[in-house]
Amino acid sequence: MTSLTVVGRPDLPGGRPAAAPALELRDISKTYPGTNALTGVSFVLRRHQMLGLVGENGAGKSTLLSIINGTVRPDTGTIAINGEAVRFGHPTEAARHGVATVFQEQGLIPTIPVFENIFLGRETKFTVAGGLRRNAMIAEARAVLEELEVDVSPTALTGALSFGQRQLVEIAKAFALSRVYPVEPIILLDEPTSALSDHETAKLFDGINRWRSRASFVLVSHRLSDVFAICDEVVALKDGHVVDQRPIKSIDEVALHELIVGRQRNAEYYREAVQREPSATVALRATGISKPGHLRGVSFDLREGEILGVAGVLGSGKSTLARIIAGAEAQGDGDVVVEGATLRRGSRRDAIRHGIGFVPAERSVAGIIGTDTVDWNLTLPNLKQIALGFLGLISPRRSRALTVEWMQRLKVRAPGPSAACRTLSGGNQQKIVFAKWLARGVRILVLDDPGRGLDVGAKEDIYSLMREIADKGAAVLLVSDNLPELIGLSNRIMVLRDGVVSAIVETPKDAKPREVDVVSAML
Amino acid sequence: MAEVPATVAKKQGDFNLRTIVLPIIAIVVLVAYFSYVNPLFFSASNALNIGRQSSVLLMVALAGTVVILIGSIDLSVGALVTLTGILAALTVDQFGLAGATLVGIGVGALVGLVNGSLVTMLKVPSFLVTLGMLSILSGVANQISQGQSILFADSLLPDLVNGSFVLGIPNVIWFALIATAVLTVVAFRTKLGRYLYALGGGEIVASHAGVPVTFYKILAFVLAGAICGLAGVMLTGQVGAGTPTAGSSLLLNSIAAVVMGGTALSGGIGGPHRTFLGVLVIAILTNGMDVTEVNSFTQDIVKGFVIILAVSLTIDRSKYLFIK
């Protein structure tokens, strides 16, 4: 543990060799069971700069932020703040060094006033004989808010503020650190604009630009436009590695995107050779699917034997579309038609009756019941198959037999059908989610990011499984954040932008488009 | 299918070991201790005593298990037993044994229907709905009985409950055992049972699999209510009167039994067979302390410690993000 050193205001007009950078990461690695979240990550955040951290989902951005702010400990590597090596065992220790995080899902408590949020966990300074000097806290909070020109009363109830205002309060909270500890803040912004309107985003950036001379920032954002709008430098992460760190002026949006996706598409990996031509028969027809705030007039035909990819950035409505087609969410307008029957809106039961299987994105919450056994998970929508005999009771033997059959077909590695599902790896769990529907003989599969959080080997298994399913004539709607996956697997890609179909990109097996061709329709 | 990392297999083993074996060890230890202190404890007649004392508790704990399995809780079980017991005492002379039983089960199911509907339709947490219902039912029971025991002339009901048809074991014990067996079969071999576990373990997963979530949640409360209704009738038969205080100790003891048996309050884990073990622990502990003449205030203190200890040993913490 290092002792606290007081960091004076750095008076370093350009020219002189810069003092130690605000934050420096050297060779940070972190492994979670089954995955290398980060491998040898190093980068430098210079004082009073804004560093953009970009990468796909699962590239390791969140883990990296958690390591910097002390919630996760790295396996190896060092962190230096103002040139001084630090080792955080707890977020409070990171806070003492000025590190504050503005979370994507906000970290403010809605039921208490703004000033209490601003000094939450740092009340020591205002404590006298166990009591809080409320007025001093309010005055100090007001000073911070005014200094930052945030137009919010410190005594306002936090929950009553707009989302954008709360975002500003979060940043004020980070600045308030410097009033409690003698440090200059290092502010980590995790997708700060994902829920903001354009107007609010502009206001936030205005604020940040004014505060730049008093803090250093790391910005994680999916929106490359954000990164180009306010960052000085950008670090591209891919699969837990730093691909490059460079000044933002030396790169354009397309080049940055190539850095992010970076990899060579591997035709073998996606079994492109066995991509089949879809049959002419339409398995599912969607007409004018709309949902206020999410989707507007999305129509498409999904044909038998086809894998139809759906691409789009976060907030494009692609996940909502998957849920609507699967009946897990009701659309405001438009119809889903299967074999001439219009499906009941938002009825998963009706969708299942018409042969639609659904592999949701949130595997642990929506795909798998971790406390139940493998066979109970797999047979949940298949109880009719195993409920024979006296009084229609479920036969545990048939339940296990059916499960073992599918475990073998999908090469699931598990101690057996009676293992608790939560003890399985992510890839094996995902296979169980697939098996649940395959055992039911569904003709249509809706997949929402089926490769999320899986390692390379597990992905490969899932991809060849999808090929097999399509080859047998089932129709697959594949929603994914992963472009190489979409291009490699799909027959066509439907691109969504702000809830509207912005392009249809054909992806025949011998003439796959480049990622940039798809990206241009997404942004 | 054998290529499993050893750690996974081991975890699985631990999981079963803790929740099934620990209550059994507790039972063995308790029986050994009480038999040592007072040899009279270890006798067939005392075993029947334990059975008689805990039959109604077992029924109530089973009802609680059904609701706890889906991740909800029913705090109105004790009060419902009181109310249905009083109603049975009031109606048995006029409508006979079958009539009184139907009234008990019917009122129980109806209360469960109200509980379940409020939880699912109005989305009020079950803790609050059933806490309110507890108060309402106690109030109604006191209003009806005016705080007095309700006596009745019918002798068929007490005879049926306290008599013994098979192996010299009182029928009330048989009823509770049969209820345990039936519910265990329901839990593991019927659609209803599997859906209850699925709702408790992952409601979203269940709804994505086409389970009519609202219907089965309400059904869980209705089933619990009906079982409590039956327990109320049994209790009245056992006591020979409907009493306004009969069910007061049942609520906390039943929850303690359910959790000690290894059914998680978060839902999806455990089951009626586990609850049977939990009830046995509580019943043996209570009876043993009676037999060894521990005073009743000390009994409460000991019971409290045992509950905390047992739950801290059996609870599966890996499921919880926070312990609240």
Q: Where are the beta strands (DSSP E) in A325-385?
A: 333-338, 341-342, 356-359
Q: Which of chain A's residues have a Cβ under 8 Å away from the Cβ of B8?
A: 415, 419, 423-424
Residue predicted with more confidence, A515 or B61: B61
Q: How far is B159 from chain A (nearest CA, A)?
A: 32
Q: Report whether pLDDT(A399) > 50.
A: yes
A61-75 tens-digit pLDDT = 888 888 898 888 888
Write the DSSP string, A496-513: EETTEEEEEEE--TTSPP
Here the tokens at position A410 are: 């999908």
Q: Do B210 and A367 touch (CB under 8 A)?
A: no
pLDDT for the residue numbered B3: 36
Here the tokens at position B254 are: 């039943």
Inter-residue contact A191 to A222 (CB < 8 Å): yes
Q: Report whether pLDDT(B226) > 90.
A: yes
Q: Do A349 and B205 touch (CB under 8 A)?
A: no
In the block, which residue shows the tokens 């031509």? A277
| Candidate from A328, A349, A394 with C-beta closest to B212 | A349
A239-259 tens-digit pLDDT = 788 888 888 888 887 778 777
Nearest CA in chain A to B15: A420
Which pairing describes strands A99-102 and A341-342: parallel, antiparallel, or unpaired?
unpaired
**Among A144, A133, A135, CA closest to A152:** A144
Residue A158, Cβ density class (10 Å: 0-12 exposed, 13-18 middle, ≥19 buried): buried
Return left, alpha or beta for A300; rule: phi > 0 is left, psi -120 to 50 is alpha, else beta.
beta
Confidence class for position B12, pLDDT limits 50, 70, 90: very low
A39-66 tens-digit pLDDT = 888 888 998 899 998 887 667 888 888 8
pLDDT for the residue numbered B216: 95
**Among A45, A134, A60, CA closest to A98:** A45
Confidence class for position B169, pLDDT limits 50, 70, 90: confident
Q: Report whether pLDDT(B319) > 60.
A: no
What does each C-alpha distance from B170 to A223, A290, A491, B74, B174 come to in angstroms? 73, 65, 71, 29, 7
Q: Which residues contact A39 (CB under 8 A, 6 or more apart)?
A: A29, A240, A241
Inter-residue contact B313 to B281 (CB < 8 Å): no
Nearest CA in chain A to B8: A423
Q: Report whether pLDDT(B321) > 70.
A: no
Query: How many angstroms separate the CA atoms of B311 and B306, rounded?
Result: 8
Nearest CA in chain A to B264: A371
pLDDT for the residue numbered B25: 84
What does each C-alpha distance from B179 to A28, A37, B148, B198, B230 come to in angstroms? 59, 51, 30, 22, 10
B75-89 tens-digit pLDDT = 999 999 999 999 999
pLDDT for the residue numbered A313: 81
Query: How many angstroms separate the CA atoms of A359 and A436, rounded?
Result: 9
Q: Is the ipTM of this complex over 0.95?
A: no
Q: Is the dihedral of CA A179, A180, A186, A191 positive or negative?
A: negative
Query: How many angstroms separate the CA atoms of B131 and A452, rounded?
Result: 42
Average pLDDT over every residue of A322-328: 93
Across the strands, what pairs with A309?
A478, A493
pLDDT for the residue numbered A34: 56
Q: How far is A401 from chain B (nearest CA, A)?
A: 13
A490-514 tens-digit pLDDT = 999 999 988 899 889 888 888 888 8
**Among A473, A482, A521, CA closest to A498:** A521
pLDDT for the residue numbered A306: 92
**Among A28, A20, A115, CA closest to A65:** A28
Q: Which of chain B's residues have a Cβ under 8 Å away from the Cβ of A403?
A: none
Q: Which of A412-416, A417-421, A449-453, B194-198 has the highest mean pLDDT?
A: B194-198
B28-78 tens-digit pLDDT = 888 888 888 888 888 888 888 888 889 999 999 999 999 999 999 999 999
Query: How many angstroms separate the CA atoms of B104 and B101, rounded?
Result: 5
A367-385 tens-digit pLDDT = 999 888 899 999 999 888 8
Nearest CA in chain B to A380: B209
Q: Which residues contact B270 (CB under 8 A, 6 or more apart)?
A: B19, B65, B68, B69, B258, B261, B262, B263, B264
Q: Is the dihedral of CA A208, A210, A214, A216 positive or negative?
A: positive
pLDDT for the residue numbered A200: 74
Confidence class for position B205, pLDDT limits 50, 70, 90: very high
Q: Do B4 and A414 touch (CB under 8 A)?
A: yes
pLDDT for the residue numbered B85: 93
Kindly report the backbone phi and psi dihedral angles of residue A410, in degrees, each rounded to the nearest multiple of 5, phi listed first: -100, 10
Average pLDDT over every residue of B220-226: 96
Mean per-residue pLDDT over chain A, rounded:
83
A386-397 tens-digit pLDDT = 887 667 788 888
Q: Which of chain B's residues have a Cβ under 8 Å away from the Cβ of A394?
A: 188-191, 194
Task: Please state the pTM of the whole predicted model.
Answer: 0.74
Q: Report whether pLDDT(B18) > 80.
A: no
A285 by DSSP, 3-state: which?
strand
pLDDT for the residue numbered A11: 44
In the block, which residue shows the tokens 């339940």? A399
